[in-house]
Structure 1
Amino acid sequence: MRFTRRSLASGALAVVAGLGLSVLSASSALAETYAVFNTSKGTFKAKLFDDKVPNTVANFVGLAEGTIAWKDPKTGKKVKKPFYNGLIFHRVISGFMIQGGCPEGTGYGGPGFKIDDEFDKSLKHSKAGILSMANSGPNTNGSQFFVTLGPTPHLNGRHTVFGEVVSGMDVVNAIGKVKTGEADRPVTPVVIKELKIEHGK
């Protein structure tokens, strides 16, 4: 599968337990949730919109914290451990977006299950720093995500926006400027050393 600028990629497949979603949705009314990306290029932080797209955020947080079981592509077995630590940004297009979250590092992998699209009319790909789900078509969201490097309005209604970078945009821009090769893959891997979730900050 080859992806274009107008069709962001994800072979990702994901499912979220109803109980987990209700718990996160209820807690979001009391506290905000953030994702801290510690990468080989530096750290950036994104606020997650769990009040507007609770299912998507619950899936992302569950994978990040290892509370949702996912299929390890190396063993084929389901595991519960932090999903994103050690993964790379496998696709970078200058001025457009940086994409990560594939366990195989190819753009074709995911957690082994899927969740539906979740759109809120107030959330748009209107500027740089928007955190959104990559997919391979309607209702195929899983683990892959991207961060915009500028306005990408053609993605509205096609990709679920679930967060926004609130600090470290210079790091995001630095990743967006790395040298890339075939399939827009960085020549020198940009690694997510740790993806930490902060609750109530």
Structure 2
Amino acid sequence: FEKLREKYCPDKGEASSPKKAEQSQQKSHRERLVEFYKKHNPSKMTSVDKTLVTFKGREDQLFKKLEQKYCPATPLAPGVLPPGGSGPSCYLSITVGGELLGKIVVKLYADKAPLAAENFRALCTGEKGRGRSGKPLHFKGCVFHRIVPNFVIQGGDFTKGNGTGGESIYGPGGPEGADMWGKFPDERPFLGHTKRGLLSMANNGPNANGSQFFFTLKAAPFLDGKHVVFGEVEEGIGILDKILEGAKLDKAGKPSGETKVVIEDC
């Protein structure tokens, strides 16, 4: 009876077997990785189990690498603030070569960079009609003309589509301080380019903001004080990886015609 009791009715106070402890730890690692990818890169969810097999016994190393890639700690220069803001949110539906990848939802920092945030929001809705170029002030149909892996994905030139055009919603002489070409000034204090998925104004010099913008693919502190960060990806950050995977680039980082990256809707 003693042997039967030990086999079928083990003492609940006994320590868990090594096998059970290992299974529990594996489950904990999996849950942690699922939560991490869910927040930082949902497109990687299908690779969770394969990744854990690859890094079995080296899970601490795996999470350290992921933290370095997606959440790098970047010191801020004097006068530069950490990114963050109040909203509102808007979205961009992205296609590559005509294939829909999904939506990127961005949260704008209207409380920190109101000019850039309102400009982007209105260009998403198209509510301002036509601009000085005669073209609609609207991102719909606009291409991402410059893609640099491990750096930025840039778009917003809806007038020429090659990085030499675009225009803001602001007119010259208005309260926004725009010049005769509608370029509006930088908003200070600057926010830091501290992580992946930030939304920032592209320009060709100080106080020369139009409609072009870029998403950061990693921390880029050398851009601080030169470009206005005015939002961040709230949902769909994995779409940035899908763009990189689907677009065939020339030496200048321009996607080929057959893999053109387009804002299908916004």
Partner of 2:109: 49
Q: Which residue of 2 aligns with 1:120?
A: 189
* Map of 2:261 onto structure 1: 190
Contact 2:200–2:229 at 8 Å: present in 1 too?
Answer: yes
User: What secondary structure is seen at the aligned counterpart in 2 of 1:184?
Assistant: coil
What is the TM-score with the length of structure 1 in the denominator?
A: 0.73
- The CA distance in 1 between the partners of 2:130 and 2:212, in whole Å, is 13
Percent identity reads 40
User: Counterpart of 1:71 in 2: which secondary structure?
Assistant: coil
**Does the CA contact (< 8 Å) of 1:97 and 1:176 recur in 2?**
no
CA shift for structure 1 position 176:
3.0
* Residue type of the alignment partner of 1:179: K
- Tell me, what secondary structure is at the counterpart of 2:211? coil
- Following superposition, the deviation at residue 119 of structure 1 comes to 2.8
Cα distance in 1 between the residues matched to 2:183 and 2:125: 18
Name the residue aligned to 1:149: 217
Q: What's the offset of the Cα at 1:120?
A: 3.2
TM-score (norm 2): 0.56
Per residue, is there more helix in 1 or in 2? 2
The structure whose residues are more often strand, as a share, is 1
Q: Deviation at 1:172?
A: 1.1
Q: Is it true that 1:83 corresponds to 2:151 in the alignment?
A: no
The 5 A counterparts of 1:127-146 are 127-146=195-214
Which structure has the greater CA radius of gyration? 2
- Report the counterpart of residue 25 of structure 1 in structure 2: none
Whether 1:107 and 2:163 are equivalent positions in the alignment is yes
Matches within 5 A, 1:159-198: 159-177=227-245, 178-187=247-256, 188-195=259-266
CA distance in 2, matches of 1:87, 1:164: 19
Alignment of 1:30-45 (within 5 A): 32-40=87-95, 41-45=101-105
Alpha-carbon separation, structure 2, partners of 1:102 and 1:154: 23
Using CA pairs under 8 Å that are at least 6 residues apart, name the structure with larger relative contact order, 1 or 2: 1
- Alignment coverage as a number of residue pairs: 160
Letter in 1 for 2:262: V
Deviation per residue, 1:110-166 (Å, 9 max, x gap): 125211111335x21001000000000001101000000000000001000000111
Q: 1:59 aligns with which of 111, 116, 119?
A: 119
Aligned residue type for 1:66: G
Partner of 2:131: 71
- Cα RMSD, aligned residues only: 2.0
